[in-house]
Amino acid sequence: MLFLLLYLCLHSALGQPGTPGLNRLMLKGKSYPCSGRVDIYDKGMWKHVGNRDWNEINSKVVCKSLQCGEVVNTTTQYEEDRYPYTSTWANFLKCTGQETQLWQCSHPKDTWAPQYEHVYVTCSENPKLSLIGLDGKDGCAGFVHLSTKQSYTLCVEDKHKQKFAEQVCKELSCGEPTTSPNQFVLKDQGKPKQNYKCVGGEDFLWQCIDWSSRGTCREPVSVICSKHLHFRLKGDKANLCSGKLEEFNSPTWRPVNSERYGDISENWTASVICEQLDCGNSGRRQENDTSTTVSLSCSDEVGMTLEGGECHGTIYLHRNNSKKQPVCADHSNDKIGQLVCKEMGCGEFIKTYDDKSGPSRQSNWWTLSCKDHAESLWHCGRTQARSCGQQKSAIICSESFKVRLRDGLDECSGRVEVLYKGSWGRVLSDKWARRHSDTVCSHLGCGGGYTEGSDLFIDGGNSNDSPLELTIGQSCGPNDHLLKCLTERGNTQNEKKFIKVICQDQHLFFMNGNSPCSGTVGVELAGKTYALSGDEESWDDGAAHYICGRMQCGQMISFSFANQTGSGWMQLRRQTLNGTSGRPYRLQPASPNTTLVAEVNCTGSVTLALKNKIVNEGDGANEEMSEDRCWGNVEVCRNGKCGRVCRDVWTEKHSEKLCANLGCGRPVVVTTQPEQSVALDVAFSSVHCPSTVSDLRGCSYVLNNGSRCAEEKTVYVVCSGSLKAKLIDPRDKCAGTAEVYLAGRWLPLCGSLDKSLQNSVCNYVGCGVARDSTVTTSSSTPEGLTARCVKDSTSIQNCTDMRLSKPCTAARVNCSSWRRLVVFSGETECGGPVFVKTESSKLFAVSAHPWKSTEVNLLCSNLGCSGQGVGHSKTVSMQNWWNKTYSCHNGAQSIWDCEKEEQQVEKQQLYISCKGQKNVNLANGCYGQVMIDNTENACFSGWTAHMSKMVCYNRGCTDQFSHIRSPSAPGHLRHFSCTGSESKLMECASSQTSCSQGPVSVMCRGAFDFNLTEHCGGQIRVFQHGKWEPACLKKDGGETANHLCKRFNCGQVNNSKTNYGKPESTKKDIKAVLSCNGITKLEDCVTQSLCGNDDLDEIYCDGFVDKFAPRELPINLIVGVAVGLLLLVIIIPLVLWQRRRITKLLRGLSRTTFASDDFEDVEIRLKDETHIRLENQANGREKGLESKSSSEYDDVDEEAEGQRDLTVVSSPGVSNAEEAPPLPARDVEQDGDRDADEDYTEGYDDVADPPMEKEPEEQSEEQGAPSQQEESKPLVEEDEDYVQPDDDA
pLDDT at 580: 52
Torsion-angle region of residue 174: left (phi > 0), alpha (psi -120 to 50) or beta? Answer: alpha
Residue type (1 letter), 601: N
Find out whether 528 and 522 touch, Cβ atoms under 8 Å. Answer: no
| φ, ψ for residue 794, nearest 5 deg | -120, 5
> What average pLDDT does this structure show over 579-583?
62
| φ, ψ for residue 1009, nearest 5 deg | -145, 160
pLDDT at 1285: 36
In 3D, which of 786, 777, 770, 774 has the Cα closest to residue 810?
777
Exposure of 32 by Cβ count < 10 A (0-12 exposed, 13-18 middle, 19+ buried)?
middle
pLDDT at 1226: 37
With residue 764 as reference, give the H or E element that holds it: helix 755-764
pLDDT at 235: 75
Distances (CA, A) of 191 to 275, 411, 661, 763, 942: 21, 69, 96, 112, 107
Cross-strand partners of 573: 586
Residue 681 has pLDDT above 80, yes or no: no
Residue 845: pLDDT band (50, 70, 90) is very high
Residue 63 has pLDDT above 70, yes or no: yes
Q: What is the mean pLDDT of the chain?
A: 78
* DSSP-assigned letters across all residues of 1162-1195: HHHHHHHHHHHHHHHHHTT---------GGGGGG
Find out whether 247 and 260 touch, Cβ atoms under 8 Å. Answer: yes
**pLDDT over 90 percentage in the chain:** 24
Distance (Å, whole) CA 1274 – CA 1205: 27
pLDDT in tens, 989-1005: 787 888 888 899 999 99
Residue 17 has pLDDT above 50, yes or no: no
- Any residues with CB less than 8 A from the CB of 857 and at least 6 apart, and which? 868, 869
Cross-strand partners of 303: 318
How many CA atoms lie less than 13 Å away from 71 in the CB half-sphere? 16
**In terms of residues, how long is the chain?**
1289
CB atoms closer than 10 angstroms to residue 70:
11
3-state secondary structure of 468: strand
Higher pLDDT, 545 or 1080: 545
With residue 384 as reference, give the H or E element that holds it: strand 381-385
3-state secondary structure of 527: coil
In 3D, which of 399, 652, 683, 691 has the Cα closest to residue 528?
691
pLDDT in tens, 1160-1184: 443 434 344 444 443 444 344 333 3
pLDDT at 1195: 40
- For CA atoms 650, 653, 656, 661, the dihedral sign is negative
pLDDT at 700: 92
Distances (CA, A) of 405 to 380, 468, 502: 41, 15, 9
Higher pLDDT, 731 or 825: 731
Residue 592: pLDDT band (50, 70, 90) is confident
Please list, residue by residue across 970-980, b when 16 or more beta carbons sit within 10 angstroms of its beta carbon and e when fewer do. Answer: beebbbbbbbb
- For CA atoms 980, 984, 986, 987, the dihedral sign is negative
* DSSP-assigned letters across all residues of 33-66: TTEEEEEEEETTEEEEE--TT--HHHHHHHHHHT
> What average pLDDT does this structure show over 774-782?
66
In 3D, which of 822, 816, 826, 848 has the Cα closest to residue 836?
822
Residue 588: pLDDT band (50, 70, 90) is very high
3-state secondary structure of 467: coil
Find out whether 638 and 697 touch, Cβ atoms under 8 Å. Answer: no
Distance (Å, whole) CA 72 – CA 50: 20
Distance (Å, whole) CA 161 – CA 145: 15
In 3D, which of 638, 560, 565 has the Cα closest to residue 599?
560
**H, E, C per residue of 956-992:** CCCCEEEEEECCCCCEEEEEEECCCCCCCHHHCEEEE
Residue type (1 letter), 1083: E
Find out whether 66 and 41 touch, Cβ atoms under 8 Å. Answer: no
3-state secondary structure of 484: helix
Expressed in percent and rounded to 5, the helix, strand and coil fractions of the chain are: 20, 35, 45
pLDDT in tens, 120-152: 999 999 998 888 865 545 578 888 888 888 888
pLDDT at 442: 92
Distance (Å, whole) CA 510 – CA 518: 9
Q: What is the dihedral of CA 330, 333, 334, 340, to 10 degrees?
A: -50
Distances (CA, A) of 727 to 734, 772, 1256: 7, 17, 92
With residue 683 as reference, give the H or E element that holds it: strand 682-688
Higher pLDDT, 710 or 155: 155
pLDDT in tens, 1122-1138: 888 888 888 888 888 77
Distance (Å, whole) CA 780 – CA 971: 11
Residue 503 has pLDDT above 90, yes or no: yes
Residue 403: pLDDT band (50, 70, 90) is very high
Distance (Å, whole) CA 497 – CA 453: 9
Residue 603: pLDDT band (50, 70, 90) is very high
Please give the sequence-ordered ranges of beta strands (E in DSSP) within 193-250, or none if there are none.
193-196, 209-214, 222-225, 231-235, 242-249
Regarding beta strands 641-645 and 569-574, do their DSSP bridges make them parallel or antiparallel, or are they unpaired? unpaired
pLDDT at 81: 56
Regarding beta strands 631-638 and 641-645, do their DSSP bridges make them parallel or antiparallel, or are they unpaired? antiparallel
Residue 1224 has pLDDT above 50, yes or no: no
Find out whether 714 and 644 touch, Cβ atoms under 8 Å. Answer: yes
Distance (Å, whole) CA 998 – CA 965: 7
Distance (Å, whole) CA 912 – CA 822: 11
Residue 567 has pLDDT above 60, yes or no: yes
Find out whether 282 and 299 touch, Cβ atoms under 8 Å. Answer: yes
Residue 1288: pLDDT band (50, 70, 90) is very low
What 8-state DSSP symbol labels residue 267?
Answer: T
* Whether residue 251 has a cis bond before it, omega within 30° of 0: yes
Find out whether 797 and 838 touch, Cβ atoms under 8 Å. Answer: no
- Any residues with CB less than 8 A from the CB of 72 and at least 6 apart, and which? 35, 122, 123, 124
Distance (Å, whole) CA 396 – CA 419: 11
Residue 1110: pLDDT band (50, 70, 90) is low
Distance (Å, whole) CA 1181 – CA 36: 140
Distance (Å, whole) CA 1033 – CA 1047: 15
CB atoms closer than 10 angstroms to residue 388:
24
CB atoms closer than 10 angstroms to residue 1071:
16
pTM: 0.59
Distance (Å, whole) CA 1011 – CA 1082: 12
Distance (Å, whole) CA 823 – CA 815: 21
> What average pLDDT does this structure show over 554-568?
91
> What average pLDDT does this structure show over 303-332?
83
- For CA atoms 1084, 1090, 1091, 1094, the dihedral sign is negative
Distance (Å, whole) CA 898 – CA 335: 95
Distance (Å, whole) CA 523 – CA 504: 13
* DSSP-assigned letters across all residues of 644-679: EEBSTT--HHHHHHHHHHTT--SBPEES------S-
Residue 1065 has pLDDT above 60, yes or no: no
Cross-strand partners of 353: 394
Distance (Å, whole) CA 1210 – CA 1279: 29
Lowest mean pLDDT among 327-341, 805-819, 1255-1269: 1255-1269
- Any residues with CB less than 8 A from the CB of 229 and at least 6 apart, and which? 136, 138, 247, 248, 264, 268
